[in-house]
Structure 1
Amino acid sequence: MSRRNPPRVSVIIPAYNAMPELTKCVTSVMEQTLGPDKIEIIAVDDGSTDGTGSELDRLARTCSNLRVVHRPNSGGAGIPRNTGLDLAGGDYVFFLDSDDYLGPDALRRMVATADENRTDVVLGKMVSVGGRAVPTAVFSHNQPRTDIFSSHAYRTLGCWKLFRRSLIERLELRFPPYRNCEDKPFTAAAYLNADGISVVADYDCYYSRNRQNGNNLTLTAADLVHRMDGTRLCFETVARYLEPGPRQDRIMRRHVEWELCGPLRALLPRESEQRAREHFYPQFRHWALTYVTDGVFQLIAPPDRLIVHLLRADRFEDLMTVVRHAKADAERGHVVDKGRVYWDHPFFRDPAKAVPDVCFDTTDRLPVHHELAQAAWTGDGDVLRLGGHARIESLGPLQPTTRLILRPSGFRHPDIRVPATVGTAPHQGDDAAAGFTVDVDLSTVDAGAPLGAGQWDLYLDVRAQDVSRTVRLRQTRTDADGRRAAPPERELATGSRHGHGSTTARPFFTPQGTFSLDVRQTEAEPACVVTGIAWDTFAPATLVVSGRLTGDAARHPHPVALRAEEDAGSVREVPLLYAPHGSRTFTARMPVRNLRPGRWTLTLRTDDPKSPVPVPTPKALSGRRWFRAARFGRPYYAKPLAGSPKRPMALRVAPVRPVAALRRRLG
């Protein structure tokens, strides 16, 4: 197969006894809108005996960009994928299983996303055909550029993705020769080294289905013996590429839950006790001791904590008891004690078992059902009324100690807690005590002071049986157009003070339905503006400040003098001289030569001493020198100091040091 330009994508299809699904799989690639000139298909027949090889050869005769490789059976998908990788020449590689197929526009969309965002891995939305399980959380919305710490991407470690081939070759990635879990270490290594990940969620890219004959590898190689090597390599891959700490803990958690505890609970009881004890248990215990840090232990659920604890403590018999009864014990209720909720497992506080309470603590995992049903301003004041319903599952009615929490977003400020009135608002079901109402008076909510500027996210501290769960206040319901109606923006009466601008509060819903409040203060026009700062041409070392009153001057204290204040507390003032006949312009002359050495700050004093107007720092004002006869003709200088636009102008007054001045000249 010859082509003028290298392909954009190499699609690699491992195939073993894949009829009749194979035909739709391959033709779905041949019909891609990306175009045959930009795609090469490498199909590897892994020693099939059902006509798969001859069907691939037939398809190749109709498609010049399909290359077929026949090889002896390897027993898994990894080796034929490696064969395809060794032949691939595309900018990107896509792995497609022979029982699955692509949406017509899948490759075009994924390649465009990778090109535009310069990402190394692209996940295309997966669709279940015939009930086969597919990941869903990561495909809730498009993500042009993300990573494994900011998305749910790491929940899907199957290799059915678009990979930049240079990443694969740089890492020298190949699939291990395992029958199950062979793709997880490969994908994990790519994720952990990728320069960005993209998610295409607005198009059905990959259709995943079970074979008619039921011989999918995930079904025929599902025993523990087929999983152990792949699981070991998953743990080793994460440890290799991530330093110990919170980031590693977050990723290890996935493998502890899905590759350690899940299979151990579901598959270990199927083994004979001798084989479980001698062959599998030592390896599981090694992983628990090596990779489950205290940070990981805190992240996993109580049933998994119990398993890890028994592995660490080397209690094989108790572990087998727990996993054999796992399904029945999962249905057990809860015990509430001193504000904590515990799983009522037979081992809980059994003196003979001596398992720590933390292995049963479900407090932070109990579902909280809640809804913000109403949000509205009351009257013409600054009070925002919120109402809805909330309950902690299995714990009964709300307690009066339930509180609304206003939490600052992006700036530092203590949380503000507002009491809620329970049992008085719209609710769901028959539990009237789940209702709540909160009146938030923005004029006094912050310990008697108005709510400060910034974005405030709203939470609800839900309390029942002295158990506290804090959740983000949310509205799940939308109108027919998928929108949520927030109260209108309002100018607050408490924000309009003499000499200041207005304060507005804008309630809003985020795209996820959470509720926030944006408080903003607008600066009023100042009483006056400074229009010029210069040295007087005729009077030595005299600073001239000129300005004019603004149209909003009537609302502000009146400027009356130019004030210079030294850091040590000394003050000098000169009056503002207004032009005659009611003019709004003024001038002030400050004899800097009369100021003693030090740092002096310049402001315009008003008839309200608490409301000075800062004199801005000029951009191009040079310094001045003069001689003081009273000081034996010693030279002095004054120069403006660099400052920010919002800070008053500062002058440095000091004697000239002859030695330093000479050095500067000579230098």
Structure 2
Amino acid sequence: MTQPLVSVIMPVHNCRDTVVPALESAFAQTLPPERVEVIAVDDGSTDGSAELLDELALAHDRLTVLHQPNSGGAGGPRNRGLELASGEFVFFLDADDRLGPEALARMTAMAERNGTDIVLGKQVGVGGRRMPQVFGATIERTHVLEPGSELFWRMSMAALQLFRRSLIEDAGLRFTEGFPTHEDQLFTAGAYLRARGVSILADYDCYYWAARADGTSTTQVGGAPAADVYAIVTEAMEQVAQFAEPGEIRDQLHRRYLDQEVFGRLQKLYLSAPDDERKITYAGCRELLENWLTPGLVRQLVPVRRIIAHCLLHDLSDALDTVLRFHRDSGRPRLHLEDGRCYHKYPFFRDEAIGIPDDCYEIAMKPAIQHRLSPPAWSDGVLQISGTVVVRDTDEGTPALHLIVDGAQGPRRVACETGAAERTDEGMATSYTAELTPVSEDWPDGRWTIAMEAGIEGHLQTIPVQKPGGMHVPTVISTRPPGRARLIRVLPLSGRGELVLELGGGPVPGDLPDAEAALGPGNRLRVRIGTPPVLGPGPAPAMSVVLRHARDESMEVRAVLEPDGASHLQADLSLARARTGRWKVFFEIDGMGDPVRTRLREGKGALGPVTASWMPPRRLHVRLDDKWLTASVADPLRQRVASLLRRPSRKPR
């Protein structure tokens, strides 16, 4: 008889509705049928699961069924299954979960390829089950005793994995019996510590791990009593100490138990637990911290956990309650900033009567500072930049604010006039205004980036000033010094991005808004456009509208734009003698680069056709449904002649 490659062990207790799909997933594996044996151990079921297993065993010769009185947890049935297992590997499958079809083939191949004793196949949550954070990438071979490994901290201790059976038997590993949860803590940790190597299979969904819809699984209803939990955790941490000397590796293994079984249970369960459970939890957590909390582990803790640890180690039970209640009810605390340091203001911060050190409250990260820009505006040759700076999560202090304007000649610091800081839900908000004078002579041409420098209590940050999408700032023409004109624009003209001042250069379509086209007197093409405001003592440079033939741009029709109101220019162009074809419309500012096209206001259709000239005959069409303004000139006489020449001649009958 062929020896099985894998023994699948399944504890069953009142799982009649789910046990069939679970077993079928084991029978449907892509390994040859004779290489998989399934051992189901009924742990005193009362819902008909036992009878159903017996029926299934009659239909599947690879299924072995055992019955035993209820033992109070999955540990006992798994141990009975191990006593019967004969496979080279064992896999523990729960009766409300299922395997992917290729799971066992892929995992055993990985173990044989790498000589590893454990394969942790990718687990997928079903029904809201949260998964361990360990399946980011497939790892052929690793070990929890490697320096820097986070495997022990990130994995689940659930034994829903592939184990080499010789590892289990040589070490005499067995599950803790009689516990509704934590029964696999010592088994799984002992296997990982003793394994020659571990593989992580993250590129195939091996195990579908379900949360019961009725919320009746042991982990969902609260698990083992605190006394049992801390007895197991104490033994687990002592087991780690047998395999790792004091130092970084031992700390990285012990971190798991402190995070989950000390701080995690205190933050989630302690306040609502009965008094006797609270006393056991308090004593158990304090003992674990006294024995295993090292300075290296303290440095890895977030402030609330450093404070919790201090309260436990110094027997401040009332303070512990207050801190846990604040963390549960208030969430993120406010910050205190001082001398370049940052502290979370949990209860008893600098309370001399309680005496919790500042180090417990300090965080390494800098305070988050946000900037919100208001629409910049020109006023009497000055560009006013204003907005709001928010120091997140603070409720005290006003920052010193400067704009940093950086160009080819280096940065300039511009002081901001600030208002009184206001408390908001986000933090302390400070409004400001700053004035820039890029029309003056000492601002050379080029691009100038704009950033906000915020300083508060020894913290200094420089934040790019972001211009939101849809915020428009008009381009201006500076005529200072006299006799020289240049464009000054605030970028980006459209969309969002970092705020930039651009001085000099030629126009771009976004500088000339509100382009319109109409038919003027004598069926001339009338073009009207918004003009940039002029700042400075000199006259505005002349602007022209230029039509260029699409096939020969050396052919031009040009007209000077004349004032039409305070902010617009217009011109009428005659196309009476224009060459037929399409003419593109451009705009030009004298002395400022090449002519540019500009977008039309929203509009559809066409102007015309109208008669632009009788002799020579010309018809004019102006298209408004294109992105760019285009005029089309046609010769109706030539079109008529060409049409007649294209007609086929009729032969006489």
TM-score clears 0.5? yes
* Structure 1 residues 38 and 280, CA gap change in structure 2 (3 angstroms): same
Shift of 1:18: 1.0
Aligned ranges for residues 184-583 of structure 1 at < 5 Å?
184-222=185-223, 224-225=226-227, 227-273=229-275, 276-277=278-279, 279-364=280-365, 466=458
What's 2:633 paired with?
A: none
Which of 137, 141, 157 aligns to 2:137? It is 141
What's 1:132 paired with?
A: 129
What's 1:58 paired with?
A: 55
Shift of 1:133: 1.2
Q: Is the 8 A contact 2:333 2:393 kept in 1?
A: no
Q: Is the 8 A contact 1:180 1:226 kept in 2?
A: no
What's 2:594 paired with?
A: none
Question: 2:331 & 2:125 partners in 1: Cα distance?
Answer: 28
4+ long deviations beyond 6 Å: 365-369, 395-400, 419-423
TM-score by length of 1: 0.54
1:111 aligns with 2:108: yes
Shift of 1:206: 0.6
1:191-243 CA-to-partner distances (Å, cap 9, x unmatched) read: 11221111111111110112244321112343535533332232222222221
Question: 1:74 & 1:98 partners in 2: Cα distance?
Answer: 16
1:374-405 CA-to-partner distances (Å, cap 9, x unmatched) read: xxxxxxxxxxxxxxxxx9976999999x9xxx
Q: Is the 8 A contact 2:120 2:200 kept in 1?
A: yes
* Structure 1 residues 367 and 29, CA gap change in structure 2 (3 angstroms): farther
Question: 2:358 & 2:391 partners in 1: Cα distance?
Answer: 21
Shift of 1:329: 4.1
Letter in structure 2 aligned against 1:206: Y
SS in 1 for 2:87: coil
Which of 91, 95, 102 aligns to 1:98? It is 95
Letter in structure 2 aligned against 1:150: S
SS in 2 for 1:90: coil
What's 2:159 paired with?
A: 159
Question: 2:413 & 2:258 partners in 1: Cα distance?
Answer: 41
What's 1:10 paired with?
A: 7
What's 2:171 paired with?
A: 171
What's 2:85 paired with?
A: 88
Question: 1:365 & 1:343 partners in 2: Cα distance?
Answer: 12
Letter in structure 2 aligned against 1:71: Q
Structure 1, 102-111 or 238-247: larger mean CA deviation: 238-247
What's 2:420 paired with?
A: none
Shift of 1:147: 2.0
Identity of matched residues, %: 39
Letter in structure 2 aligned against 1:246: E
Q: Is the 8 A contact 1:399 1:422 kept in 2?
A: no
Point out where structure 1 has 5 or more consecutive residues left out of the alignment: 370-390, 403-418, 424-430, 434-461, 470-667
Structure 1, 185-194 or 212-221: larger mean CA deviation: 212-221
What's 2:538 paired with?
A: none
* Structure 1 residues 50 and 467, CA gap change in structure 2 (3 angstroms): farther
What's 1:575 paired with?
A: none
Q: Is the 8 A contact 1:99 1:209 kept in 2?
A: yes
* Structure 1 residues 351 and 131, CA gap change in structure 2 (3 angstroms): same
SS in 1 for 2:124: strand
1:35 aligns with 2:17: no
Shift of 1:280: 3.0
Shift of 1:101: 0.5
* Structure 1 residues 68 and 354, CA gap change in structure 2 (3 angstroms): same
Question: 2:454 & 2:131 partners in 1: Cα distance?
Answer: 36
SS in 1 for 2:348: coil
Q: Is the 8 A contact 2:11 2:41 kept in 1?
A: yes
1:566-621 CA-to-partner distances (Å, cap 9, x unmatched) read: xxxxxxxxxxxxxxxxxxxxxxxxxxxxxxxxxxxxxxxxxxxxxxxxxxxxxxxx
Q: Is the 8 A contact 2:311 2:320 kept in 1?
A: yes
Question: 1:82 & 1:354 partners in 2: Cα distance?
Answer: 50
Question: 2:235 & 2:196 partners in 1: Cα distance?
Answer: 22
Letter in structure 1 aligned against 2:212: R
Letter in structure 1 aligned against 2:14: N
1:473-493 CA-to-partner distances (Å, cap 9, x unmatched) read: xxxxxxxxxxxxxxxxxxxxx
Question: 2:15 & 2:222 partners in 1: Cα distance?
Answer: 16
Shift of 1:43: 0.8
1:79 aligns with 2:79: no
Question: 2:366 & 2:243 partners in 1: Cα distance?
Answer: 30
SS in 1 for 2:219: helix
* Structure 1 residues 291 and 366, CA gap change in structure 2 (3 angstroms): farther
Q: Is the 8 A contact 1:179 1:226 kept in 2?
A: no
What's 2:117 paired with?
A: 120
Structure 1, 28-37 or 212-221: larger mean CA deviation: 212-221
Question: 1:261 & 1:144 partners in 2: Cα distance?
Answer: 32
Q: Is the 8 A contact 1:342 1:361 kept in 2?
A: yes
Shift of 1:323: 2.2
Letter in structure 2 aligned against 1:176: T
Point out where structure 2 has 5 or more consecutive residues left out of the alignment: 371-389, 405-409, 415-429, 433-452, 462-653
Q: Is the 8 A contact 2:267 2:328 kept in 1?
A: no
* Structure 1 residues 317 and 26, CA gap change in structure 2 (3 angstroms): same
SS in 2 for 1:220: coil
SS in 2 for 1:270: coil
